[in-house]
A and B are shown apart, each in its own frame.
Chain A
Amino acid sequence: MSKLKAKAWRNDATAKVTGRAKYTDDLKFVDMLHAVPKYTDHVHAKITGIDTSVAENCEGVVCVITAKDIPGQVYWGQIQKDYPMLAQEKIRTHGDVVALVVAATREQAIVAAGKVVVDVEKLPAVFNPKEAMHPDAPLVHEDKGTNIVVHHRVRRGDMKDGFEAADFILDEKFNTQFIEHAYMEPESAVCNPRPDGVMEVYGSMQHPFSTRRFTAAILGVPLSEVEVITVPMGGGFGGKDDTAAIVCARTALAAQITGRPVKMTYDREWSIRESYKRHPYVIQYKMGVSKDGRITAVQTSMVTDAGAYCSVTPWVTWRSTVQCCGPYKVDHVHADVYGVHTNNVFTGAMRGFGSPQVNFAIEQLVEMAAEKVGMDPIAFRRKNMLRQGDTTVTGQVLDTHTVSLDQVLSNVMNEIDYVQKLKRCTYGMSDSDEEYGIGLALSYRGMSLGAEGVDFCSAIVNVQADGSILLETGIHENGQGSESVMILVLAEALGVKKERIRYRRPSTSTIPDSGTTVASRGTLMGSGAVTKAVDQLKAVFAEGLAETLECGESDIQFKDEKILSTSNNKWISFEEGVSILFSRQMYPFAMGVFKAPRVSWNEENGQGDAYFTWVYGCQAVEVTVNKKTKKVKIINAVASHDIGKAVNPPMLLGQIYGGMAMGLGYGLSEEVVIEQGVIQNTNFHKYKILRATDVPEMTGIIVENHDPRSPIGAKGIGEPALEITAPAAANAVKRALGIRSHSIPIKVKEMLNKEV
């Protein structure tokens, strides 16, 4: 049976379904050259010499670029400027690039890259973050004097009191793995040195403004001399931030040095080798629980591998800190979260951003606690979960929006028939080879950037003389459908048909820096900016049309393609209104800015109003596990998320399904295997993302408790959709086999062997 209901709409769908959408690697410029990166076989080594002479004489080669050719900054980064655009004195990880080879064709550049000779003195390396914390460990960055990148903490209540009030204490350790974003489009950039002196950058990236900063830094030019232009992007999931910016910056360097357009497109193997991964965590939890099923205290220590470079590790680990107890009320909390350098591939932003790791642990831990107390895990959750007006572990009172944990939990339990299905779970006692289990997980998530940094966004609405409308925003189309959402928000706010509106892809030269399109902030921040722009635009219309409509400015409304007066029912068409404005020399033009409401944070004790709003979600998964084949089959998945307001429901469901599929892969199959700093699975035959046959039929239930702090009431879905699927699957596997996995990806064979 087809489940098609409301037809989906997005502005770029026709271009994409016909193959006409041009992604970065599809672009060509006259006289264009090709660049490729040169890697070495080392993971930690001092560079003593780079000989490019043979490579330079290879057929088609125009130049070989090394760090000494960089006119601007060699080191850059979003937080710490520790990433070498080209490795200079030292190799710190296997993905380090020491040179760029630029040639007439990509094939020629690849051949020549093999001829670049790099002489090194090997250095002792460190691959385990706990070992890297030791004072005697080899330093990845000597100038930092330590491998510890960051240490966040939460100090709340009194641990002695908390544990004294406990009747049971759980002490459990969990491990999560490195995973790859696996966007289908590998990194690509095309840079065109324009005659006006501006470096034009086309690239597959989700943060054009950061890309511009990286590019301007390496070139040593002002921001105004780099124009980053948005083109369709083949997926990002947080992964097209730093690495993508670096690929663009290096390509721009090659274009500046040669004075010609240059393209650099990555092979999948280069992409997986060099790009940052999701942080793997080692998490230790001590939880105190009273006989009546109340969590009395949580002490936790988390250590994560930052790899060789800082990237956004301080921000990723901060979210783990804020959300260290899951969506539960705990009065006594002591949490330490460390990010530590090693010589492994660096780690950075990935959909979920420090919460999937914590959720994997805490959503199993609460079930273990319930078991210990002899309570139903759902009742245990209901007893401890945050409710309206409750205070989070960082001291934030949740009273500015609807706290809907109970609602999403009930939705999922009803839809999947949880109570009945719980009775069917086999706990390893099935008569056949097939075991069955169901599990769920619950979360809350701080929206947007929170106290990570400045959080604001702009939108420009430019109504043309014929009544057609151009819209641009600082939110980037990553594939999620942000442009369509912005169009729908504008159409609704201005009372016009969406067909009137054309989304103009902005460049970094046309719209103010609106930050990065991550953190599930696109709809929330972008719709806020569009709303602010519409408010200003309406004021322009009101001023220009009050006389025509013979009413006061405050009487004017916008509805059904009309501009009307509520005081006398006079109206004119939207076109007529625009025409009158132009005749009066008034531009129907506005730029709106939405600034995130105030947040606060005290780094010393980890207390503060971390995020200006939160979302709530619940997911349940059903599995069968075959004891013979040791395979887990996912047979059903249901999600319910409170996202404030659904602007484009079919695309919102798409985010939920896609997030759950990615979350199931995280829980059950995906793992970047690294041996002595070298990634072993650099393509999709060995790095297994889920295929259509691995994914079950899914159901998404949307909850819309409008958020008063969001101008249209909407929040976000990108990350919530992924962050609890793995623990739901883990809880299901537990009920199928009767044993629990403390690590992901869940390996049934190892679990069963351990039991024997």
Chain B
Amino acid sequence: MKTIINGVKISLRAEWFDKDLLDFLREDLDLTGAKRGCGIGVCGTCVILINELPVQACKKTVADIVDMTVLTIEGMSNKDDPLHPLQQAFIDAGAIQCGFCTPGMVLTAHAFLLKNNCPSREEIRKAIKGNLCRCTGYQQIVDAIEEAARHYRK
């Protein structure tokens, strides 16, 4: 049994299946970009993509990623490559303050823009409704996603 996380194939053992997926990513794989904000799936700081769909890792177990393709924030850009245009847009728009919601917010937006590359601001707000941010008032996050959309149209 295997999974692909950020393009890397990983073998999974059956005894891991019941493990909390967020703990597995953070503690066992050292992928600490996904954060634990609430632990009950309502804040969005632990959002990762499974087969391009945003999910709250704290509500899943390792069994949920068997034969799936997982993208975490660490997989959005390689260390030596330029940032993904969506990430660059977050920076340029001033969408980052404390940064704790940022990985989940970026991944949620990424999944959304893959499906809708010409969204209205209202649609963007709906798309990130599950991601709480206490710093920004969301406005510059919406700006960033709106700006990045054109890169998904190419």
Contacts and interface: CB of A to CB of B under 8 A. Distances in A.
A480 B136 CA distance: 9
B97 A658 contact: yes
Interface in A1-31: 2-4, 7-10, 12-23, 25-26, 28
B61 interface: no
Contact of A17 (B91, B100, B139, B147): B91
Contacts of A691: 129-130, 132, 138
Interface string B12-47: 000000000000001000111111111110110100
A203 interface: no
B3 interface: no
A265 B35 CA distance: 12
A509 interface: no
A651 B97 CA distance: 8
B146 A14 contact: no
Chain A at the B interface: SS class:
loop
A697 interface: yes
A18 B92 CA distance: 14
Contact of A4 (B92, B125, B137): B92
A184 B100 contact: yes
B73 interface: yes
Contacts of A186: 36-37
B115 interface: no
Given A12-B99, A184-B100, A185-B35, A17 B136 contact: no
Contacts of A183: 98, 100, 134
A235 B141 contact: no
Given A4-B143, A653-B140, A684-B43, A18 B99 contact: no
Given A2-B147, A184-B43, A659 B35 contact: no
Nearest to A107: B23
Contacts of A25: 32, 35-36
Contacts, number: 189
Most chain A CB inside 10 Å of its own CB: which residue of B36, B129, B131, B147: B36
Contact of A19 (B32, B94, B132, B139): B32
Contact of B139 (A7, A232, A695): A695
A184 B140 contact: no
A683 interface: yes
Given A2-B143, A2-B146, A232 B77 contact: no
B91 to A, nearest CB: 4
B63 interface: no
A183 B131 CA distance: 13
B4 interface: no
Contacts of B100: 23, 183-185, 234-235, 479
Contacts of A7: 92
Interface residues of B, number: 59
A13 B140 CA distance: 14
B153 interface: no
B135 A235 contact: yes
B134 A481 contact: no
B50 interface: no
B91 A14 contact: yes
B103 interface: yes
Contacts of A695: 125, 137-139
Interface in B40-66: 40, 42-43, 45
B137 A661 contact: yes
Nearest to A232: B99
Task: Please classify how large the interface on chain A is, using the bins under 10, 10 to 19, 20 to 34, 35 or more.
Answer: 35 or more
Given A683-B42, A693-B129, A18 B35 contact: no
B102 A17 contact: yes
Contacts of A181: 134
Contacts of A233: 98
B40 A683 contact: yes
Best-buried of A15, A25, A684 by chain B (most CB within 10 Å):
A684
B132 A22 contact: no
A17 B87 contact: yes
A691 B147 CA distance: 20
B139 to A, nearest CB: 4
Nearest to A9: B91
B97 A479 contact: yes
Interface string A456-480: 0000000000000000000000111
B134 A662 contact: yes
Nearest to A233: B98
Given A19-B72, A481-B97, A651-B94, A184 B77 contact: no
A372 to B, nearest CB: 35
A42 B138 CA distance: 39
Interface string A478-501: 111100000000000000000000
Nearest to B125: A692
B114 interface: no
Contacts of B95: 8
B93 interface: yes
Interface string B77-90: 10000010001001
Interface in A553-594: none
B106 A480 contact: no
A658 B137 contact: yes
A660 interface: yes
Q: Specify which of B40, B42, B73, B94 lies most central, judged by the most chain A CB atoms within 10 Å of its CB.
A: B94
Given A17-B83, A479-B99, A683-B42, A692 B106 contact: no
24 contacts: A3-B143, A8-B94, A9-B91, A10-B96, A13-B96, A16-B99, A17-B99, A18-B77, A183-B98, A184-B98, A185-B37, A186-B37, A265-B36, A268-B37, A479-B97, A479-B99, A650-B94, A657-B140, A661-B136, A691-B132, A692-B129, A692-B138, A693-B125, A695-B125
List the 10 closest pairs (A to B, CB-CB), nearest first. Answer: A19-B33, A479-B98, A234-B100, A16-B99, A8-B94, A661-B137, A657-B137, A19-B73, A650-B94, A26-B32
Interface of A: 2-4, 7-10, 12-23, 25-26, 28, 181-186, 232-237, 265, 267-268, 478-481, 650-651, 653-654, 657-662, 683-685, 689, 691-693, 695, 697-698
Interface of B: 26, 30-40, 42-43, 45, 72-74, 76-77, 83, 87, 90-103, 106, 121, 124-126, 128-143, 146-147
